[in-house]
Structure 1
Amino acid sequence: MRNALRRAVPAAVGLLALTACGTEVPDGLIVAKPAAPATPYSGPLKAKTPERVGEDSPLEGGGAALLTLECTGRPHEAGAFADEGSGDDGAGSAAEALARQAADGFYEMPDRGYRVEARSGHRVLYSYDVAGRTRAAVIVAEDRRGWFAETHAACDPSEYRARERARLSVMVWQDTRGRAVSTAKVVGWMGAEHCDWQSVEFLTLGRGDDGRLRGRQFLRDPERKLADLDGLTTTYANDVPLPADAVDTGYRHDGRELWLAPDKSRAYVRDADGAVERWPGRDEPVGCM
């Protein structure tokens, strides 16, 4: 989705100060001496979200940030940051605005490894690159209040480097060759603390065409937090035998193997020591508000 018009980014872009009075810019958030991108972005830093993005899409509001991406697969998520247009004071510099937003949370985006790729007027594009291609982007803008993070966009987390994937709130699984698998196929995460679900591990197979999690969901629930949830296909159990007809999905995570019952009603997860857990399935994903 990279803008078709390209030109070299002026060398002065790389000289943007990384520190200023106010918000501390953590080490590693911005790369001091990044490698040059294969095709530097030269499109607008303020634009409408492409018309092909629907109103209820996880890409809604991404604007120009979406144009900067160079994903191998489909863009994963995008949007405008909530503090745009608020009455709060802004940061003292573009770097501080990026640091402030990183401290508030970057959703399923890397929290370090960004480079300054472009600057136009009162906007700066920070890109997270892998193999010289932009996999995540944040555009920060300056107004009379100071600097604010304005829009963001990102490829699927499976396209990040392993060290950044390991720091995400979602779990990116791998295949049998150790290659990251798209979260559109399989993704895991721990439950929310504010719902007292932090001991529950969720795993979803498949997404809808709009990117929403709609596939079969499985729950690892050793503390039985959701044991009474309607629609569960079975109960959670540990140290169970792996059924002879269980099907290996080929998905792996931290030494664990994901197997499914033939009808996909329940999952079996075998760890590196050979111990097997049974995870109940559910047709409708459960969420914590």
Structure 2
Amino acid sequence: MTRNALHRSVPVVVGLLALTACGSDIPDGLIAEGSAAPATPYTGPLRAKAPARGEDGRLRGGGAALLALECAARPYEAGAAADEGAGDDGADSAAGALARYAGDGSEEMPVRGYRAEAGRGHRVLYSYDVAGRTRAAVVVAEDRRGWFAETYASCDPSEFRARDRARLPVRVWEDAHGRAVSTAKVVSWRGAEHCDWQDVEFVTLDRGDDGRRRGRQYLRDARGVLADLDGLSSTYAEDVPLPSDAVDTGYRDAGRELWLAPDRSRAYVRDADGTVERWPGTKEQVACQ
């Protein structure tokens, strides 16, 4: 069943792009210029009871934004936007609210390439489309204070365009053929600055698509910030030989290759120049509080 199968009688507001994309505070590229209307425009509700789909904690609160998605796989993330219900004044326009939300960078969402797909009353749906299908959505709403982002939802970041994946706080890896790999299989990111972990890179394999903290995790810690962490399988080391029995995962990132020890206790990352680093595995998922 398509996303609109139950809502075909609801009209779509025409001309939203022209009405909501003006203003000096709108970053270049936030609104896709000259984007064609989708083959099947979203005609569902712009306000929906949360959670809109299932009981998954990562998707709770996504409401109408979640309903608008057309993912190739399971939706990745959804919820109420951070500034919804905030005490300060809202933006002067729907596009201004989208710009404020996208500029915050707190979610793993695209920061450009949206278009106004539907509008009704005091709400506008902005969609980020790839190959004619909605991979991310933000619903903005107007109240007496102005316009605010209300709900958001996205597909897995591997479904975004390559240039937009490069702007995310997480790294989306590719397979040996250059195709983006789901973050449920492999994903990496830098540690949080407030824990002074910004120089530590984490990579997790097989964490699944249900958002739970699981899967095998490895870390690159050249400064030794986490050297005393309990449960590390080894130490970090650079310029080491690649063991003859190491297993190639097939995952690639900007010329890097990810290999594993046969027992998956350690990872080996080989750069484009052939230099190999040993990354220790962790006993449990490591997170900055």
Counting matched residue pairs gives 286
Q: How many angstroms apart in 2 are the aligned matches of 1:32 and 1:273?
A: 40
| Aligned-partner Cα distance in 1 for 2:46–2:230 | 47
Amino acid at match of 1:215: G
- Distance in 2 of aligned mates of 1:15 and 1:26: 16
Per the TM alignment, residue 220 of structure 1 is displaced from its structure 2 partner at its CA by 0.4
Match of 1:268 in 2: 268
- What secondary structure, in the 3-state scheme, does the structure 1 residue paired with 2:152 have? strand
Letter aligned with residue 33 of structure 1:
G
Q: Does 1:91 align with 2:94?
A: no
Q: Partner residue of 1:281? A: 281
Q: Does residue 1:18 correspond to 2:21, yes or no?
A: yes
Unaligned stretches of 5+ residues in structure 2:
none
Q: Is residue 35 of structure 2 the alignment partner of residue 46 of structure 1? A: no
Task: Give the secondary-structure state (helix, strand or coil) at the position aligned to 1:66.
Answer: helix
Q: CA distance change for structure 1 residues 106 and 37 in 2, over 3 Å: closer, same or farther?
A: farther
* CA distance 1:92–1:264, shift in 2 (3 Å): same
CA distance in 2, matches of 1:191, 1:99: 26
Q: Which amino acid aligns with 1:49?
A: A
Three-state SS of the structure 1 residue aligned to 2:241 is coil
- Give the partner amino acid of 2:162: A
Structure 1 Cα separation of the partners of residues 226 and 106 of structure 2: 28
- Deviations 1:83-102, CA, capped at 9 Å, x for gaps: 22232211111011111112
Matched ranges for 1:108-127 at <5 A: 108-127=108-127
Q: How far does the alpha carbon of each residue in 1:247-268 deviate from its partner, in whole angstroms, 9 at most, with x for none?
A: 1100000001000011100000
Shift of 1:3: 3.2
- C-alpha distance in structure 1 between counterparts of 2:53 and 2:31, whole Å: 32
Task: Give the 3 Å change call, closer, same or farther, for CA 10–82 of structure 1 in structure 2.
Answer: closer
1:35 maps to 36
- Distance change >3 Å, CA 175–CA 221, structure 1 → 2: same
Q: Give percent identity, aligned residues only.
A: 72
Distance (Å, rounded) in 2 between the aligned partners of 1:241 and 1:87:
56
Q: Structure 2 vs 1, CA of residues 191 and 178 (structure 1 numbering), >3 Å: closer, same or farther?
A: same
**Aligned pairs for 1:159-198 within 5 A:** 159-198=159-198
Tell me the distance in 1 between the aligned counterparts of 2:134 and 2:41.
Answer: 9
Mapped partners of 1:185, 1:230: distance in 2:
25
With the length of structure 2 as denominator, give the TM-score of the two structures.
0.95
Q: Look up the match of 1:245.
A: 245
Secondary structure of the residue that 1:16 maps to in structure 2?
A: helix
How many angstroms apart in 1 are the aligned matches of 2:106 and 2:232?
32
Q: Distance in 2 between the 1:209 and 1:103 partners?
A: 26
Distance 2:110 2:235 in 1: 35
Q: Answer whether contact 1:215 1:283 (CA < 8 A) is retained.
A: no
Partner of 1:147: 147
CA distance in 1, matches of 2:41, 2:283: 44
In structure 1, list runs of 5 or more residues that go unmatched.
none
Distance change >3 Å, CA 61–CA 17, structure 1 → 2: closer
Question: What do the CA deviations read for 1:164-208 (whole angstroms, capped 9, x no partner)?
Answer: 001111000000000000000000001111111111000001224
Which amino acid letter does the alignment assign opposite residue 249 of structure 1?
A: T
